[in-house]
Amino acid sequence: MNYFELFEIPVSFELDTVELKRKYYVLSKTFHPDRFTLKSETEQLLALNQSTEINKAYRTLKERQSRIRYILELKGVIFVEGQEKVPQDFLMEMMEINESLMELKLDPEPSSIRRIEKQIEEIETSLGKEISAVMELIDLDNPDESKLELVKIYYLKTKYLQRLRENLFN
């Protein structure tokens, strides 16, 4: 059973997080280990395992990035850590921002921080607009591999941007 089936919601890149949270609370209450204290050891263990799986599923689906990766993996897209490729032009742009971050560490100018943050936000916005149309067109019951690959590249790009943002504020 996949996480979407667990919560009885359709597989989708965009989902109703309020509905997800409501279903999470219902399942959490139903399988909370405290409700099984007077049951057999086997039933207690099953409840604990189910509760753990419910929590993991909720954490995965509530955050957009982890939900995207989960759907991609569910649809057979393979991730090999450290061996994933993004377009060269994007990498060059990330290197330029990284260089700006290094310069910023030597001379932490508030206007430079805002400029870099704005640059990252603009890239994120642009990527979001590009991929939204693709995500809307994907039939997740019978997905086109090339469209899934575009979503994977989007996911990888946003991971780069997330690291840059973390470096900016650390």
Is 69 domain-assigned?
Answer: no
Is 78 domain-assigned?
Answer: no
* Residue 10 buriedness (CB in 10 A; 0-12 / 13-18 / 19+): exposed
Residues 105 and 157 in one domain: yes
Is 127 domain-assigned?
Answer: yes
Comparing 51-60, 77-86, 126-135, the range with the smallest average pLDDT is 77-86
| Model pLDDT for residues 122-164, shown as the tens digit of each residue | 999 999 999 998 998 899 999 999 999 999 999 999 999 999 9
| Model pLDDT for residues 1-31, shown as the tens digit of each residue | 899 999 999 999 999 999 999 999 999 999 8
Which structural domain, as residue segments, surrounds residue 7? 3-62
Under DSSP, the state recorded for 75 is T
Q: Mean pLDDT for the chain?
A: 92
Q: How many domains does the chain have?
A: 2
pLDDT for the residue 95: 94
Q: Where are the alpha helices (DSSP H) in 15-144?
A: 17-30, 41-62, 64-74, 88-106, 110-137
Rounded CA separation 94/120 (Å) = 9
Residues 97 and 159 in one domain: yes
pLDDT for the residue 60: 98
Torsion angle in degrees (nearest 10) through CA of 2, 8, 13, 17: -120
